[in-house]
A and B are shown apart, each in its own frame.
Chain A
Amino acid sequence: MAPQAVSMQPSADEPGPDVVVEYLVRGRSPWGMRLHANGRADEWTAAGGWQPLVQADPAEVAALVNMATRDGYLALPEIVGPADAPDDGTQLSWMIEVDGSRHHVTARGAGPSWDPVLRALDAELQLIVGRALNRAADAPPARKSSGT
């Protein structure tokens, strides 16, 4: 993992009980995301720590968790990627809660070397949050009441 400033790393605090997905990026560009069962997405940035990001569709969040169960996430080892640790690069830590149990997987190396299950989950997570951001960005501005 590349050298980076300690102050710029996502906290290792255990996420709250309603968080069903956590995604932490450590390395040159640390970043984090937490998805709550109700669709709330929080983002961790070096500048602001954990902050609310957007409201996603709770059904899509549930579908992501189901996808993890269906496609074999639970069968992955705790660490995936190349046998010998890369020099520098990014380390990605997943947590997905299934039936009340939290399952952690750490991926090292770059995306192309990951297990296909993680690659598919990664893309789906981005789409869930990205579409929610798109909707918010494209929504017409709320009209102010003109009063009487």
Chain B
Amino acid sequence: MGGPNRSASQRHPGRAGPAKGSQRRNAAPSKGPRGATPESLALQQGGVPEDAIAGILQSGALEEAILGRLQQSAGNQAVTRIVQRNGPTSPAPAAGVTPANAPAPAPADTPAIPEDLRQFRAAGPYPASAAGTTVLPSTGRGGFQARYDASAMVLTITMNVAINFIDGMTDSGGTAVAADPSLNAAAIAINRLPSEQRTAAINAWKWSSDQETWMSGFRDSVQGAWGSAGHGLQFQSSHAGWEAQLASVNVAVNTQDASITGTPPAGASTIPGAAGPTHCTANVYKTPAGNNDFGAGVTPGSLTSATDQTLNIGSSQTVTHSHLLNQRVTFARGSVELDADATSQLLAIINSFQTPAGGAGTSIDIVGHADTVGSGTPAGDARNRQISEQRAQAVADFLLATRSGGGTLSNAATRIGTTSGVGSAEGGTGASARRVDINFAGAGQQNVAAHEFGHMLGMRDEYAVDPGGVIAGSAGTTGTATDQDPSVSATGLGHSIKENNDNIMSLGGTIRAPHMVMFMEALRNVTGSNEWRLKP
């Protein structure tokens, strides 16, 4: 959120503001190509060729949006000088004709802002209270504070999180006991160790004065993912004449160790500096770095409260991990034929990665591998590369085949991008080395914390569980609308449909227009206007 000490020019990106302070400084270097003016250098730095500008000026097609861009890249004074040098920005009236009621020309550094928009900006922020408005999303899940600064054009979403730090493993008389069922297998592994090794192994699952570091990493992870700076999406007013009014999203997460403050009562927050209530209690289980085993999830609490949800997460789930967008089948040594297991697996993959009606489907890249048996000589390496390529092609042919009675991958021909083999480059002699990777959407990884934060914002899962597929869970089949889809479609953000792809609420990490729905709901709520759309 823009702080109170920021200058007017910082609070009006891309536009000239009404005040003197909004003028931007030319960015021209002190030295430049011979003959280049500061203006031309600045414009070139902004990526706008000077001849193109001259053409625009001569055509009279210089619209406010273009002017705004030029002012952003070159500075208001520079643009003013160029406009004065090159003539008017609108077609000259015919000779002898004086336009009736011609408005007085506005100063060149203050392009016209409709009076109602000026008043709207002046009346903000929305709401006036620094605490913002508590928003309960339309799904009844999640909850947060929202406040829109119309001058800075920033929608700030604040989530206050009280955190219980829980050791993932406890030592009960020398025996490891897992704090959550998803960690039981790890406890079994520790208890198989001789006693002199168990204590150290258990200690890796205990917090050790690293809580502050974790909270910082969590905040960075979700703020970076969900803010406009991370995904590049922002809103724009759809009110006639207000196209310049934008709303970029700033996500602010406040965290506090609940063992210090105690669990705050509903509707209040003991988080220092946090405005509004505590929205979420997080149970963070200590897990060793790189471990992604914890069964993270969000419990919604009451569907009429924005302040009683619970996040459960492993401490090492604030970074990305590989998950289900990489599927694979294996081959017998020396074979390039799909056996019964591989065929069955591919049919299951086809079932899980279908395309919803009208959709294009997730991209697919197929990469074959060979084990290292026979490698080490030019001929052996060439043979292994050939085998890996043939394996990849066998999988591609299977996915491309048309079958009666189902088992056909929709849009396969357009979805399969590359089919290649890398020989025995990855090493190993086991069955996993004799495989073909089927990488959907580039086998994108997922940051569990960022995914769960989507639930904390009120969204449901978008991954799909199809009969006979490879993905299990509690979600619906491909093409099923999510709980948030009615709001997504009503706000012009497209649709939220279950599909196994790289969406943040599915199996990947990409935030797209439908995932802006809770921000849109909040923006409409705090401004009292439905005239907002996603900026094209």
Contacts and interface: CB of A to CB of B under 8 A. Distances in A.
Interface in A100-148: 109-113, 122-123, 126-127, 129-131, 133-134, 136-138
Interface string B310-344: 10100000000001100000000000000000000
B175 A134 contact: yes
Contacts of B323: 3
A126 B189 CA distance: 12
Contacts of B175: 126-127, 130-131, 134
Contacts of A6: 348, 469-472
A29 interface: yes
B177 A90 contact: no
Contacts of B239: none
Q: Which of B185, B193, B298, B469 has the most CB of A within 10 A?
A: B185
Nearest to B176: A130
Contacts of A113: 299, 310
A59 interface: no
B300 A84 contact: yes
A49 interface: no
A4 interface: yes
A38 interface: no
Nearest to B297: A89
B184 A138 contact: no
Interface residues of B, number: 58
A41 to B, nearest CB: 10
B363 interface: no
B295 A134 contact: no
A31 B6 CA distance: 54
Q: Which of A88, A90, A123 has the most CB of B within 10 A?
A: A88
Given A1-B473, A134-B175, A82 B299 contact: yes
Contacts of B297: 1-2, 86-90, 109-110
Nearest to A124: B177
A1 B460 CA distance: 11
B283 interface: yes
A22 interface: no
Q: What class of interface size applies to chain A in its complex with B?
A: 35 or more
Nearest to B446: A3
Given A28-B292, A88-B461, A137-B192, A127 B473 contact: no
B415 to A, nearest CB: 20
Nearest to A87: B455
A87 B300 contact: yes
A3 B407 CA distance: 22
B295 A3 contact: no
B144 interface: no
B235 interface: no
A5 B184 contact: no
A129 B188 contact: yes
A87 B297 CA distance: 5
Contacts of A29: 182-183, 185, 293-295
A111 B141 CA distance: 21
A27 interface: yes
Interface in B160-206: 164, 166, 172, 174-185, 187-188, 191-195, 198
Contact of A28 (B174, B283, B293, B300): B293
B475 interface: yes
A74 interface: no
Given A53-B188, A110-B299, A112-B283, A3 B180 contact: no
Interface of A: 1-7, 9, 23, 25-29, 31, 33, 43, 45, 53, 81-82, 84-90, 92, 109-113, 122-123, 126-127, 129-131, 133-134, 136-138
7 contacts: A3-B465, A6-B469, A23-B181, A28-B295, A122-B181, A126-B177, A127-B172
